[in-house]
Chains A and B, each alone.
Chain A
Amino acid sequence: TQLLEQSPQFLSIQEGENLTVYCNSSSVFSSLQWYRQEPGEGPVLLVTVVTGGEVKKLKRLTFQFGDARKDSSLHITAAQPGDTGLYLCAGEGSSNYKLTFGKGTLLTVNP
């Protein structure tokens, strides 16, 4: 069974601060996806990383996939209240299309 450890589980910061969310596993994933979910809605895909060492940027969000494709990080620069939400990482196994989800990081950005 593939497991993804996501940390921190809860994060409350002030507007303008930077933060990093981590996803770690002992398993190799063929790809890793980051989602953001707001209360009462489904997760919305932010990015998919596929290649070991890959870095992708989405405005103030920077995503990195570890060289060994076992871990990933999400860094947010100058967080804004609109960034508040549940951030989920999910790894896709190499033998099937199932996603293994981390437990999520509930981010609150206070104005």
Chain B
Amino acid sequence: GAVVSQHPSRVICKSGTSVKIECRSLDFQATTMFWYRQFPKQSLMLMATSNEGSKATYEQGVEKDKFLINHASLTLSTLTVTSAHPEDSSFYICSASHRLSLSQDTQYFGPGTRLTVL
């Protein structure tokens, strides 16, 4: 159980276009999802926390107008990179929070989306 999917797995786009990435929890409901960015051989950097039915909370330095997040249901969150530029090229990973007990929440990660902006 606790499977998280992401779509697409890879996307190549031209500079100035927008790209939407979907994150789905397949076998559980996730009130909270997280979006991370990862550069080669580096750790994950949290971009934003997405709560179902409310506005996302962005980490310091992350532009909310550039990285639009929508969490329309308990199983789906989307990240839209607007007006993408080459410096936005990265590996984007989502995670979904799965409540295992009253005191324990575990994050399960999607397989990631490799974005390349030409």
Interface residues of A (CB under 8 A from B): 30-31, 33, 35, 40-45, 48, 50, 86, 88, 90, 92, 97-99, 101-104, 106
Give 5 nearest A-B pairs by CB, closest first. A42-B109, A104-B43, A42-B111, A42-B112, A103-B43
The reply to whether the CB of B80 lies closer than 8 angstroms to some CB of chain A is no
Interface residues of B (CB under 8 A from A): 4, 6, 32, 34, 41-46, 49, 91, 93, 95, 97, 103-112, 114
Tell me if A's interface is mostly helix, strand, loop or mixed: strand
B54 to chain A, nearest CB (A): 14
**A45:B44 contact, CB within 8 angstroms:** no
Q: Which residues of A contact B103 (CB under 8 A)?
A: 30, 50
Between A and B, 25 residue pairs with Cβ closer than 8 Å are A35-B109, A40-B112, A40-B114, A41-B111, A41-B112, A42-B4, A44-B109, A45-B106, A45-B107, A45-B108, A45-B109, A48-B104, A88-B44, A92-B105, A97-B105, A97-B107, A98-B34, A98-B49, A99-B34, A99-B46, A99-B95, A101-B43, A101-B44, A101-B45, A104-B42
Tell me if B's interface is mostly helix, strand, loop or mixed: strand
Q: Give the contacting residue for A103; candidates B34, B42, B46, B49; CB below 8 A.
A: B42
Q: Which residues of A contact B107 (CB under 8 A)?
A: 33, 45, 90, 97, 99
Q: Which residues of B contact A88 (CB under 8 A)?
A: 43-44
B44 to chain A, nearest CB (A): 5
Q: Which residues of B contact A92 (CB under 8 A)?
A: 105
Q: Max chain B CB contacts within 10 Å: which of A43, A48, A106?
A: A43
Q: Give the contacting residue for B97; candidates A42, A44, A97, A104; CB below 8 A.
A: A97
Instruction: Tell me, in angstroms, the Cα distance from A35 to B38 when the chains sit together.
Output: 15
Q: Give the contacting residue for A102; candidates B43, B105, B106; CB below 8 A.
A: B43
User: Please, which residue of chain A has its CB at the minimum distance from the CB of B36?
Assistant: A101
Given contacts A42-B93, A43-B93, whether A98 and B111 have CB atoms under 8 Å apart is no
Q: Beyond A50-B104, A98-B34, list 9 extra A-B contacts (CB 8 Å).
A: A33-B107, A40-B114, A45-B107, A86-B41, A88-B44, A97-B105, A99-B46, A101-B43, A101-B44
**A31:B104 contact, CB within 8 angstroms:** yes
Q: Give the contacting residue for A106; candidates B41, B91, B105, B114; CB below 8 A.
A: B41
